[in-house]
Amino acid sequence: MFALIFQNKVVQIKAEPFLVASTLTWVDIDGVKPAPEVDWLFDGSKFTAPPIPSIKVQAVAELPTLEKDILYAVVQQAVGEITKEQLNEKWLELKAKSAEAKS
């Protein structure tokens, strides 16, 4: 198998390489463990999976609004944008909104 690389990123995987523009490069990935996939990064010698945050952002996007708001508040507190007290206030506010929505 071969990975087609463009700007240090795997853009395609094929059994056999074919003629491509000079800005693209084929890399033999037989025996590479774990096997690289499309969107993996290539630094010229090794492959790495895409950064986890991009995967987490996609997972967060699929959460219901209340859970997103809670997670966002926790992240804000973790990075120092809000205090622990503000996080607790936000939690109580979101909890009350959730109870109102259920009734």
Per-domain boundaries in the chain? 2-50, 55-102
Quote the pLDDT of residue 64.
74
Q: What is the pTM of this model?
A: 0.51
- pLDDT of residue 8 exceeding 60: yes
Quote the pLDDT of residue 5.
96
The helix/strand/coil state of 9 is strand
- pLDDT of residue 78 exceeding 70: yes
Cβ neighbors of 45 (< 8 A, separation 6 or more) are: none
**Residue 11 or 64, more confident:** 11
Residue 50 CA, distance from chain mean position = 7
